[in-house]
């Protein structure tokens, strides 16, 4: 038989563990149901009566006079846990993109360098731009990216460029070239393994909140809430950027008009066409007149007419508002139509950089024409070739 002293020690230890494990919500919920079953099945307590919530009962279970507490303790723990875990969730969500945490991640990732043998030779123009950026007074620069690298999967390898007011800078490359990762480091969503991103005179890692007040970001995939209307989206982002009262109303109306979204201002985002969703995403990026606008493949999924219209909006944004616009695209046609400078990114590196005319003069080889013909004699085909 088990000694009485041992059983008493077990009960004490069990009670202590019970109070500790109640901090796990699933345990508090399960233990509450267990005690409720004990009350109802063995003690005949009314499940809807006040006694079920009591801390103790005078009824006897078995041969021992044990005090079976009610479910009130578990309910209190669950209520406390819901508030505590919600607060932790909000705190961690803020901490994940806050400046101090970003600075810590930068220091942590800098312990792991990218092997130099994985870097391809740089073009002369890319080297010149890298040297120019290194010598710039970045506190006077609106946007400067200085030798930025991302270690995780070697997504970005030594990217450097600077852009001035009224300039549209294009990142051209295929999927997986590192364009979106570069964007997210410039916005402060990712910490660079090496290098620095300067926005309006401050580094993103050191003063993330200040830098973000100068940014507008259109993601690659629409970040829209289906049940909110077009106007409500713009009002939400306007408030996030500090607009209030008549300034907010005027900015929302101006953005709707600029993007030809006035007929759809009261429509829910979930019912918009793909092209209008992209327009709305661009509108959320440009509302509040940010000094720097990042557009990640803004014309994806648009028909040719809507695409040309959006190009006009982007050009107007750079010229009239004197904003810096940085966009990514797969289309050389789009980059040539919009960008004053283009960087072609391959495997995380800038392989060439310059104005559209300079890139064409250096790397262009004329035009390539594909002909498909049928029923033509070999002699005629040779003449065509």
d(CA 13, CA 80): 24
103 domain-assigned: no
Question: What is the DSSP annotation of 299-368?
Answer: TTT--HHHHHHHHHHHHHHHHHS--EEEEEES-HHHHHHH-SEEEEEETTEEEEEE-HHHHHHHH-----
Among 64, 95, 126, residue at a domain's last position:
95
Check whether residue 302 and residue 213 sit in a common domain: yes
Whether residues 21 and 153 fall in one domain = no
- Rounded Cα distance, 236 and 320, in Å: 25
Number of domains in the chain: 2
pLDDT band at 235 (very low <50, low <70, confident <90, very high): very high
Residues 255, 168 share a domain: yes
Contact predicate 53/71, CB 8 Å: yes
Contact at 8 Å (CB) between 356 and 170? no
Q: If you average pLDDT over every residue of the chain, what do you get? A: 79
Q: In the predicted model, what is the mean pLDDT of residues 376-380? A: 72
- Provide the pLDDT for residue 66: 47
Percentage of residues of the chain with pLDDT beyond 70:
79
Distance of CA 111 to the CA centre of its chain: 25
**Quick one: 80 and 139 in the same domain?**
no
Region class of 121: left (phi > 0), else alpha (psi between -120 and 50), else beta: beta
Same domain, 34 and 177: no
* Pairwise CA distance, residues 98 & 36, whole Å: 45
Question: For residues 91 and 85, what is the distance between their CA atoms, to the nearest angstrom?
Answer: 10
Residues contacting residue 105 through CB under 8 Å, at least 6 positions apart: 191
320 and 356 both lie in a single domain: yes
Q: Could you tell me if residue 383 is inside a domain? A: no
Residue 64: pLDDT band with limits 50, 70, 90: very low
> What was the pLDDT predicted at 254?
92
List residues bridging with 197 in a β-sheet.
145
For residues 69-78, average pLDDT: 76
Q: pLDDT per residue over 167-215, tens digit each? A: 889 888 888 778 888 888 888 777 787 888 888 878 887 777 778 888 8
Ranges 84-88, 92-96, 169-173, 321-325: which has the least confidence:
92-96
Q: What share of the chain in percent tops pLDDT 90?
A: 10
Instruction: Confirm whether 188 is domain-assigned.
Output: yes
- Domain membership flag for residue 190: yes
Q: Do both 73 and 143 map to the same domain? A: no
171 & 305 share domain: yes
Q: Which residue, 95, 110, 135, sits at the end of a domain?
A: 95
User: Residue 35: which domain range?
Assistant: 4-95
Is residue 179 domain-shared with residue 274, that is, in the same domain?
yes
112-126: average pLDDT: 66
In a domain, 372, yes or no: no
List, as one string, the DSSP characters of 71-113. Answer: SHHHHHHHHHHHHHHHHHHHHHHHHTTSHHHHHHHHHHHTTSP
Q: Which one has a higher pLDDT value, 69 or 358?
A: 358
Same domain, 46 and 145: no
- The pLDDT tens digits of the residues spanning 121-152 come to 677 888 888 888 888 888 878 888 887 877 65
Residue 188's H or E segment, with its range, is none
Answer whether 268's CB lies under 8 Å from 228's CB: yes
In this prediction, residue 256 has a pLDDT band, given cuts at 50, 70 and 90, of very high
Say whether both 190 and 310 belong to one domain: yes
Long-range Cβ contacts of 31-38 (<8 Å, 24+ apart): 31/74, 32/71, 32/74, 32/75, 32/78, 35/68, 35/69, 35/70, 35/71, 35/74, 36/71, 38/68
273 neighbors 230 (Cβ within 8 angstroms): no
Over range 23-30, report the average pLDDT: 85
Same domain membership, residue 127 and residue 72: no
Tell me which of 36, 64, 95 is where a domain ends. 95
pLDDT at 69: 57
Task: Read off the pLDDT of residues 265-305 as tens digits, 9 standing for 90 and up.
Answer: 999 998 988 889 999 999 999 898 888 899 988 888 888 88
pLDDT of residue 281: 92
CATH number for the domain harbouring residue 277: 3.40.50.300
Residue 102 covered by a domain: no
CA nearest to 171, candidates 25, 329, 283: 329
């Amino acid at each position: 038989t088990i000694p009485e002293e041992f059983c008493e020690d077990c009960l004490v230890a069990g009670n202590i563990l019970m109070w500790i494990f109640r901090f796990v919500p699933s345990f508090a919920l399960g233990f509450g149901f267990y005690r409720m079953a004990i009350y109802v099945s063995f003690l005949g307590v009314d499940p809807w009566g006040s006694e079920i919530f009591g801390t103790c009962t005078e009824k006897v279970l078995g041969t021992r006079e044990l005090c079976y507490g009610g479910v009130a303790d578990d309910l209190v723990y669950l209520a406390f846990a819901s508030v505590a875990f919600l607060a932790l969730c909000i705190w961690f969500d803020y901490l994940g993109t806050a400046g101090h945490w970003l600075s810590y991640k930068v220091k942590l990732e800098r312990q792991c360098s990218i092997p130099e043998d994985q870097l391809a030779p740089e073009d002369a123009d890319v080297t010149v731009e890298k040297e120019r950026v290194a010598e710039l007074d970045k506190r006077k620069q609106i946007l400067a990216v200085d030798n930025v690298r991302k270690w995780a999967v070697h997504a970005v390898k030594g990217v450097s460029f600077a852009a001035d007011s009224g300039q549209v800078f294009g990142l051209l490359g295929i999927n997986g070239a590192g364009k979106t990762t570069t964007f997210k480091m410039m916005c402060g969503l990712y910490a660079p393994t090496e290098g620095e991103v300067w926005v309006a005179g401050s580094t993103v890692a050191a003063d993330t909140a200040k830098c973000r007040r100068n940014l507008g970001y259109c993601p690659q995939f629409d970040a829209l809430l289906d049940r909110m209307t077009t106007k409500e989206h713009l009002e939400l982002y306007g408030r996030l950027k500090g607009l209030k009262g008549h300034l907010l109303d005027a900015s929302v109306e101006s953005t709707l008009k600029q993007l030809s979204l006035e007929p759809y201002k009261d429509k829910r985002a979930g019912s918009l066409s793909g092209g209008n969703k992209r327009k709305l995403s661009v509108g959320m990026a440009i509302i509040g007149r940010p000094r720097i606008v990042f557009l990640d493949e803004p014309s994806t999924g648009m028909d040719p007419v809507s695409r040309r219209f959006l190009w006009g909006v982007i050009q107007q944004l750079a010229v009239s508002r004197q904003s810096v616009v940085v966009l990514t695209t797969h289309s050389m046609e789009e980059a040539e139509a919009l960008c004053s400078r283009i960087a072609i990114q391959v495997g995380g590196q800038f392989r060439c950089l310059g104005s559209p005319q300079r890139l064409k003069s250096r790397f262009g080889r004329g035009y390539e024409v594909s002909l498909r013909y049928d029923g033509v004699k070999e002699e005629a085909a040779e003449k065509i070739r």
